[in-house]
Amino acid sequence: MVLASPSPDFQADAKQNADRNDQPAESERWTIERSEDLYRIRGWGEPYFGINAAGRVTVSPKGDRGGAIDLYELVESLKQRNLGLPLLIRFSDILEDRLERLNACFAKAIARYSYPGQYRGVFPVKCNQQRHVVEDLVRFGVPHGFGLEAGSKPELLIALAMLEAPGSLLICNGYKDRGYMETAMLAQKLGHLPIVVLEQPEEVDLAIEVARKLGVTPCLGVRSKLCAKGVGRWGTSSGDRAKFGLNLPEIVEAVEKLRGADMLGGLQLLHFHIGSQISSIVTIKDAIREAGQIYVELAKLGANMQFLDVGGGLAVDYDGSKTSFYASKNYNMQNYANDIVAEVKEACEEKGCAVPTLVSESGRAIASHQSVLIFDVVGTSSQPNSVPVLPTEKEHLVLRNLRETYNSIDAENFQELYHDAVQFKDEAISLFNFGYLSITERAKAEQIYWASCRKILEIVRTLPEVPTEFEDLEQILASIYYINLSIFQSAPDCWAIDQLFPILPIHRLNEEPTERGTLADLTCDSDGKFDRFIDRLGVKPNLELHCHNPGEPYYLGMFLVGAYQEIMGNLHNMFGDTNTVHVQLTNQGGYAIEHVVKGDTMDAVLSYVQYDGDDLLERIRQASEAALRAGRIEIEEAQRLLGAYEEGLRSYTYLNV
Ligand SMILES: *Cc1c(COP(=O)(O)O)cnc(C)c1O
């Protein structure tokens, strides 16, 4: 135990600290390379995201083909256009690049294995239904004959109206009623190639009946429940107990029914989907092998087989680890295409069957990278970090002991002094409880205690191995960063299924992030937080962040959010859609803001729950008239209140900071 010395030299200590901070050793100087490594940006971000010499995130929407945008500058210039945070930025060039890459990978695989057939992808609309996104995809897909996949009636209506190129595939999945079937089958006559995929045994009879009534020969597919199981979160999307698809006896029965109705020639496609974000290539291979055999057998039974649709599942490497961890994948897009092409070719050649046109329904792998969500930090809360200045009058002994402990902490004695600090802090609380210490004194004791912990943590961080008793220290001292965002609206999968997205500051990356923090959102819900972040291996509970200087903006970006998040977001606490912009590189080396989709106003979100803005305003007006008559409010005040209320209705649901 170290006892208080009569006159500890606090100023000398402060001076020493300042000197150390001013001149970091060469090896300690923070670099953007260290930020790249820390936030793993190369792992998940290449070739689209990087860090420039100014320590800011850059976006290269065309990947390796040149042109980069400083994300911080972009956000600043969007703010000048009255597009406040949180802000979703979509880079259309990234979307195009993803689509090109997928097609290029299949083209390469087809060439490599001399596959005597072609690839025709479709985009599953459910992954991102926003009109601007679907419009872009349809346009970028024209050179590749890229089509769309619908999983419901409303999505079918989108897909039908948006598809342009004649002969583009339109895969019709999901539950179907008579209306769905009729619409899909008649759409053939528009020049599209709608394929009605039978997913339920009842749909077989319905399809036959509707086709007869309309007098059309429909193009049909069957969705198979494979035995090969997916793994991870969506592992149960396949297998015998899967929600969708026909099991093998049902498929055989469907074939016989179609034969009986003289429609077996219409059965042209075999479909399967073993789940999303399949992180292991082995799972994909197993599924293709099984599906390849079913395909060949269907052809043998007399179906007019033309297409094998391998569904979605192509994963995104959210943590950049290139492993079979659920937030990653242990294969790349080329491996994926190679395995599909090679397996299908082998299955067909063995049985002397013509190879199918390969169809895939990649959603996540195409749409994720395009969108970046930017939000700002509105404040932080953390344990006190500085030692209170020395008072002139004599301090209580327990405070002096704490100060002395704080001052004496070094790399040799930190373990021993940690116990001292805990003991003095406990003593201070006891003294307070018995009335011997004032509230100001107790506050000081706690302040010095936390500062000591912080000092010890800094030593612990430099150790090759963290002693067990200090394992929680990082967590205990982590700050809470309050962010201008609703996780329920903008990243619902983080809340609902513990999904991980890369999150990092978009500037100050040439500065050491000295803080550790969790992120708390704007909702009054204790689940509205981010406390799981990507890490080298697994998940970490805190994110490395910079000290937030009040009055200065601190922007964070969440990346790879272009798939599923927008439509699944909800209005918890009435935080609405965020502002969205589409940014595209221009030929002149700059960028253009193509579309702006303003986020919800308060008026709009209130109307979702059947409030009428005018009606609410009228109630406030009447209440203020009554208050005026009763002399409780001045007319100017009443006008001001009404003005603020009315303006509120027209404004964004997020904080204007
Ligand atoms: C959701 C879904 C997809 C898209 O899956 P991803 O993993 O996002 O590529 C494809 N096909 C079907 C039938 C789906 O339900």
Two structure tokens written together for 460:
């612990």
Ligand 1 atom nearest the C-alpha of 361 is: 10
Ligand 1 atom nearest the C-alpha of 367 is: 8
Q: Is 329 in the pocket of ligand 1 (CB under 6 A)?
A: no
The predicted structure's pLDDT at residue 2: 46
Q: Collect all residues with Cβ–Cβ distance below 8 Å to 634 and sequence separation of at least 6.
A: none
The predicted structure's pLDDT at residue 78: 96
Q: What whole-number distance in Å separates Cα of residue 328 and Cα of residue 322?
A: 6
Q: What whole-number distance in Å separates Cα of residue 116 and Cα of residue 109?
A: 11
pLDDT over 90 at 310, yes or no: yes
Q: Is 271 in the pocket of ligand 1 (CB under 6 A)?
A: no
Q: What whole-number distance in Å separates Cα of residue 421 and Cα of residue 425?
A: 6
Helix-helix angle 439-461:397-408, to 10 degrees:
20
| H-type alpha helices, 303-461 | 333-350, 364-367, 397-408, 414-433, 439-461
| H-type alpha helices, 242-392 | 248-260, 281-300, 333-350, 364-367
- CA–centroid distance, 455 to ligand 1, in Å, is 50
DSSP lists the bridge partners of residue 196 as: 172, 220
Q: What whole-number distance in Å separates Cα of residue 573 and Cα of residue 54?
A: 38
Q: Is 176 in the pocket of ligand 1 (CB under 6 A)?
A: no
Two structure tokens written together for 141:
């897909």
Distance separating the N- and C-terminal Cα atoms of the chain: 48
Give the distance, in angstroms, between the CA of residue 646 and the centroid of all CA atoms in the same chain. Answer: 34
Q: What whole-number distance in Å separates Cα of residue 506 and Cα of residue 544?
A: 13
In tens, the pLDDT along 6-41 reads: 443 334 444 444 444 455 555 568 999 999 999 999
Residue 410 phi, psi (nearest 5): -145, 180
In tens, the pLDDT along 111-170 reads: 999 999 999 999 999 999 999 999 999 999 999 999 999 999 999 999 999 998 787 899
pLDDT over 50 at 97, yes or no: yes
The predicted structure's pLDDT at residue 25: 56
Kindly report the protein residue whose alpha carbon is nearest to atom 5 of ligand 1: 312
Two structure tokens written together for 549:
């200087």
In tens, the pLDDT along 448-481 reads: 999 999 999 999 999 999 999 998 898 889 999 9
Residue 480 phi, psi (nearest 5): -110, 125
Rounded to two decimals, the pTM is 0.91
Mean pLDDT of 242-260: 94
Rg of the chain, C-alpha, whole Å: 31
The predicted structure's pLDDT at residue 1: 45
Give the distance, in angstroms, between the CA of residue 611 and the centroid of all CA atoms in the same chain. Answer: 31
Q: Is 313 in the pocket of ligand 1 (CB under 6 A)?
A: yes
| H-type alpha helices, 142-230 | 153-162, 178-186, 201-214
Q: Collect all residues with Cβ–Cβ distance below 8 Å to 609 and sequence separation of at least 6.
A: 571, 574
pLDDT over 70 at 392, yes or no: no
* Among 458, 573, 475, 456, CA closest to 518: 475
Two structure tokens written together for 645:
């209320």
Question: Which residue is listed with tokens 């029914």?
Answer: 257
Q: What whole-number distance in Å separates Cα of residue 57 and Cα of residue 199?
A: 45
What b/e sequence results for 564-589 when a residue is b if at least 16 CB atoms lie within 10 Å of its CB, and e otherwise? bbbeebebbbbbbbbbbbbbbbeeee
Instruction: For 477-613, list the strands marked E by DSSP.
Output: 479-483, 503-505, 515-520, 529-530, 533-534, 539-540, 543-545, 555-558, 579-585, 591-597
SS3 332: coil
SS3 341: helix
**Which amino acid would we find at residue 216?**
V
Helix-helix angle 10-22:397-408, to 10 degrees:
30
Ligand 1 atom nearest the C-alpha of 276 is: 7
Q: Which pLDDT band holds residue 242 (cuts at 50, 70, 90)?
A: confident
Q: Collect all residues with Cβ–Cβ distance below 8 Å to 374 and sequence separation of at least 6.
A: 71, 75, 85, 86, 87, 88, 89, 506, 555, 556, 557
Q: Are 400 and 437 contacting, i.e. CB atoms less than 8 angstroms apart? A: no
* Among 30, 50, 61, CA closest to 504: 50
Two structure tokens written together for 34:
């260290």
Q: Are 210 and 180 contacting, i.e. CB atoms less than 8 angstroms apart? A: no
SS3 631: coil
* Among 501, 366, 445, CA closest to 41: 501
Q: Is 151 in the pocket of ligand 1 (CB under 6 A)?
A: yes
In tens, the pLDDT along 593-603 reads: 999 999 999 99
The predicted structure's pLDDT at residue 426: 97
Return the best residue to mutate from 123, 126, 172, 568 for the ligand 1 pocket (most ligand atoms within 8 A of CB).
Answer: 126
Residues of the chain above pLDDT 70, percent: 93
Return the best residue to mutate from 361, 493, 566, 567 for the ligand 1 pocket (most ligand atoms within 8 A of CB).
Answer: 361
Ligand 1 atom nearest the C-alpha of 313 is: 7
Q: Which pLDDT band holds residue 104 (cuts at 50, 70, 90)?
A: very high
